[in-house]
Amino acid sequence: MKILITSGGTSEAIDQVRSITNHASGHLGKIIAEACLAKGYEVTLVTTKNAVKPASHARLNLVEISNVASLQASLEPLVKNHQVLIHSMAVSDYTPVYMTGLEEVKQAEAIEDLLQKTNSENKISSKDDFQVLFLKKTPKVISQVKEWNPNIQLIGFKLLVGVPKEELFAVARDSIRRNQADYILANDLTEITADQHKAYLLDLKEEYPASTKQEIAQLILEKIAEKGE
C-alpha cells in the first residue's frame, strides 16, 4: 500500500524577508511515517523545511514544500497515485495580499480598494508606527483531495486551542462532511505536551481516543488496514 503523509507547517511570504508561519514541529507526521514504514508500506512524506523528518529509508520518499500554492501543486499528482492520505500538516488559512502604513488605510475611500493593490518593494518599508496587513483565504487543499482521487482514504486533522470537547468534535465532524474525509483526528493544543498528545480519531459515529503520538499512529494504522488493502 502507498501512503501519503503531510507534516510540518506552511509559510506564506509577506515579502522576501518575512512570512507568516503555522507552527508545527513535524513530530507526529514523523512518527506516523515511521509506523507505516515498519508495517511495510511505501511512504511519501510531504513536509516543510523546519519540520523534523524520519531517517532515510528505502521505502520513504521525502518532498519539501513551503506555502499553500506549492503544497497544492505537489499534492495533486501524489493524491492520484496513493491509496491513503494522512494530512497532518498545519496549512495556512490566509496568505498576504498587501501591507501598508495605517495612514493609507485611513485615507482610502473604500477599504476594499486596498485588496487590489500589491507591494512592489522587495522589503516593505518600516517607517510607519503602525502597519496593516491584508490577507485572503487560501484554497482549502483538503476539500480537493476526493476530487483528485475519489478512492483515496482521507484522514484529516483538526487542531483547536482551549475549546470544549463538544465543540472540537462538532468542528471535526463538519470537516468530515465537507471534505468527504474518512476520519478526522481531532486534538486541542492545550492537551499536547512533551510526553502527552491527547487526540480523538473521529468518524461520523464513533470516537477513538489516544494519549500519545505513538497511540495516534497505531490507531490510524488500524483504521487504514480495516478499510484498505
Among 56, 109, 116, 137, binds a second copy (CB under 8 A): 137
Which H or E run includes 60?
A: strand 60-64
Binding pattern for the stretch 103-132 against a second copy, x by CB under 8 A and - elsewhere: --xx----xx--x-----xxx--x-xxxxx
CA–CA dist 185, 173 (Å, integer): 10
Residues 155-174 that bind a second copy (CB under 8 A): 159-162
C-alpha cell recorded at residue 133: 496587513
Q: How many residues bind a second copy (CB under 8 A)?
A: 43
Binding pattern for the stretch 187-206 against a second copy, x by CB under 8 A and - elsewhere: --xx----------------
Q: How far is the CB of 185 from a second copy (least distance, A)?
A: 16
Greatest Cα pair distance in the chain: 62
Q: How far is the CB of 128 from a second copy (least distance, A)?
A: 7
CB 85 within 8 A of CB 44: no
CA–CA dist 154, 4 (Å, integer): 10
CA–CA dist 156, 119 (Å, integer): 35
Per this entry, what is the length of the chain?
229
List residues near a second copy by CB under 8 A: 11, 14-23, 50, 90, 92-94, 97, 102, 105-106, 111-112, 115, 121-123, 126, 128-137, 159-162, 189-190
